[in-house]
Amino acid sequence: MTSPAAADLLAKLRVHGAVPRHVAIIMDGNGRWARERMLPRPLGHRGGMKAVREVVEGAIEAGVEVLSLFAFSQENWQRPAGEVSALMSLLEEYIQKEADELDEQGVQVRMLGELDRLTPPALKAVERVMAQTAHNTKMRLNLFISYGSRAELTRAARLIAEDVAAGRLTPGQVDEAAITSRLFTADCPDPDLLIRTSGEQRISNFLLWQVAYTELFISAVLWPDFGRRELYEAILDYQNRDRRFGRVPA
Ligand code: FPP
């Protein structure tokens, strides 16, 4: 639900400047949120799931075109088995609960990453929601699952090598566009704004190629407490930035 404070911020950012077309978020701090409440870590992730819902709705209302959420990294597979299985179940639950509403809201859901590592039920749920929402155009929601940016770039290099070996591409044709078009995000603009929650100041192997000129916003708020209001504060801050892309001001 939009609080009066969030509604006020939304009204402000609408007149203040351009809304970022693509917002990416590293959702961090679920574990610390749970620890502060003496709860098991999976309950922190459950709190994180609620925040996902709130932020998706907030992004739609603000007019964001693409929202990218880092939900599960390749490194996260090394967490204790109980936590990994809780996260997989939560992913299934999220899809089960939200698929119809996301579809009604016009959201196209895409899951990006090494999906063949998912449990069969999670993979089935992922395929179902992607097929159900494929026709939607209001906002694109990229959920990065089992994702690592170095692995994504390595995969792109391998695909290019295969094309060169097969004679479909010459080495001289390998340019930035050749790499960009072989990334999971090939059909998305680069993120304009990257938000990381919980105060950590790292990129953590997320969209390394794509964030070359992205504006960064570090929020001290732990992800389960992040909502519309915090999203809109980050967008307002972004609107005050002077984006030069390496050039001098006009
Ligand atoms: C980082 O917090 C968060 C994750 C590794 C998982 C993100 C998952 C969710 C937000 C919930 C599930 C989302 C969907 C879409 C189903 P952390 O555990 O690293 O926190 P810590 O650094 O405080 O320990």
pLDDT digits (tens, 9 = 90+) for 150-193: 999 999 999 999 999 999 999 999 999 999 999 999 999 999 99
Residue 130 lies in a domain: yes
Q: Which pair of tokens denotes residue 148?
A: 């690592």
Residue nearest to atom 24 of ligand 1 (CA): 31
Residue 247 lies in a domain: no
Residue nearest to atom 5 of ligand 1 (CA): 72
**Is pLDDT of 1 > 80?**
no
Residue 15 lies in a domain: no
Residue 2 lies in a domain: no
Encode pLDDT of 85-101 as tens digits: 999 999 999 999 999 99
Contacts of residue 62, Cβ cutoff 8 Å, sequence gap at least 6: 10, 13, 14, 19, 231, 232, 235
Report how far ligand 1's centroid is from the alpha carbon of 124 (Å).
21
State the average pLDDT over residues 17-26: 96
Give the count of beta carbons closer than 10 Å to the beta carbon of residue 129. Answer: 24
Report how far ligand 1's centroid is from the alpha carbon of 210 (Å).
22
Residue 51 lies in a domain: yes
The catalytic residues are: 28, 76
DSSP H or E segment with residue 65: none
Q: How far apart are CA 206 and CA 91, in angstroms?
A: 19
Residue 10 lies in a domain: no
Range of the domain at 99: 21-239
Would you state the pLDDT for residue 67? 98
Burial class (CB in 10 A: 0-12, 13-18, 19+), 25: buried
* Overall domain count for the chain: 1
Residue nearest to atom 6 of ligand 1 (CA): 71
CATH number, residue 165: 3.40.1180.10
State the average pLDDT over residues 60-82: 96
Number of H helices, E strands in the chain: 8, 6
Encode pLDDT of 43-67 as tens digits: 999 999 999 999 999 999 999 999 9
**Is pLDDT of 250 > 70?**
no
Rounded to two decimals, the pTM is: 0.96
Would you state the pLDDT for residue 72? 96
Residue 178 lies in a domain: yes
Residue 67 — left, alpha, or beta (φ > 0 → left; ψ -120 to 50 → alpha)? beta
Report how far ligand 1's centroid is from the alpha carbon of 33 (Å).
10
Q: How far apart are CA 179 and CA 167, in angstroms?
A: 17
Residue 121 lies in a domain: yes
